[in-house]
Copies of this chain bind each other. A is one copy, B any other.
């Protein structure tokens, strides 16, 4: 089987030969007639990877629900979400599945989702997302972070629930603003790192707290990561603080983060500061991208399109040069794949027959224009075409 007439990111044109479920060769474009799927010179990209999504929060597919947050703090939004959650009648399985279908149509085949765990919800959202993971198992890989959205100390019993979430199938333990939400850096991190150590899993902590207060927490996460031998298994999501402290401070922090093997996730925040992505990368820190909120009680925005997300990251980081856009692209592909520990990822000879095609001549152009994906191919099958899932959905 062949896919004909592909443009690779280096500008070369190839036919893609498939054998035994793998890409067996990249051949010169055949001039004679050949059976196969004609890609029409479209640019071929590896699958997009969403390093931070909330499958259980989205309201996608429901009638429009206006944002109900009384104020602009994280606490205000937690309260607003609790009200929206209490009022909803459609299970998270349904809305989350809507989102999975939408992101697959835009080329995302791997994701890390955070799932709310607190003493009101218990493990209900985890169970919904586990069902989603099972339902779409042949289409996408879904890594699950048990996420204490209501805090750990503020929501007694949550530490035990997080631990149980791991036992029931979550892959990592999450955290949330140890100081800003729980008001106790050590107690919050004690709980998280105890679970991570006991269960042998990684950590991904939401950190919105800005300025030096936020930086202090990031450095303490780094210290504990090294102390518990979790290097390479810990991420800090958002880390707005890294964008609001002095260059000296963030440069020193970058070296610390690199040594501790801590990855930084950014979604290119609209209303907050963005970490200095190039500086972090230059100092050896893994930076990766994610959607964060998608039409949920937190934000009306977002659609899960990771090429658009790369654009937003680049836009907020003031990226303009092609090599900068390539970094933004890397954040939503290879870098996110490394953070998720995907062992069989990438468009290459010997690799899986997973790829995305888009009308563009370079990666930079693909990020800047982020046209509708012409094809999404998973395990050699076309699962989406011109932005629409192919029905019946392959399963």
Contacts and interface: CB of A to CB of B under 8 A. Distances in A.
Contact of A368 (B72, B270, B271, B300): B300
Contacts of A369: 295, 303
Contacts of A361: 63-64
Interface in A64-84: 64, 66-67, 69, 72
Interface in A351-395: 360-362, 364-365, 367-369
A316 B66 contact: no
A131 interface: no
Contacts of A295: 368-369
A318 interface: yes
Contacts of A346: none
A371 to B, nearest CB: 10
A365 B63 CA distance: 10
A315 interface: yes
A366 B311 CA distance: 20
A316 B271 contact: yes
Interface residues of A, number: 34
A321 to B, nearest CB: 5
Interface in A227-284: 270-272
Given A299-B320, A301-B368, A368-B301, A270 B63 contact: no
Contact of A362 (B64, B303, B362): B64
B316 A311 contact: no
A67 B322 contact: yes
B364 A300 contact: yes
Most buried by B among A301, A303, A311, A367: A301
Contact of A317 (B271, B315, B320): B271
Interface in A270-328: 270-272, 295, 298-301, 303, 311-312, 314-318, 320-322, 325
Most buried by B among A271, A300, A315, A368: A300
A318 B270 contact: yes
Interface string A154-178: 0000000000000000000000000
Nearest to A363: B64
Contact of A364 (B66, B69, B271): B66
A322 B303 CA distance: 17
Contacts of A300: 320, 322, 325, 364-365, 367-368
A325 B63 CA distance: 17
Contact of A365 (B64, B311, B325): B64
Contacts of A318: 72, 270-272
A83 to B, nearest CB: 14
A149 to B, nearest CB: 17
Nearest to A80: B320
Contacts of A317: 270-271
B316 A270 contact: yes
A271 B320 CA distance: 10
A315 B311 CA distance: 13
A203 B363 CA distance: 39
Contacts of A270: 314-318
Nearest to A322: B66
Nearest to A320: B67
A64 B63 CA distance: 40
A321 B109 CA distance: 31
A-B pairs, 3 with minimum CB distance: A271-B318, A270-B315, A300-B368
Interface of A: 63-64, 66-67, 69, 72, 270-272, 295, 298-301, 303, 311-312, 314-318, 320-322, 325, 360-362, 364-365, 367-369
Given A64-B361, A66-B364, 5 more contacts: A271-B317, A271-B318, A300-B365, A300-B367, A301-B368
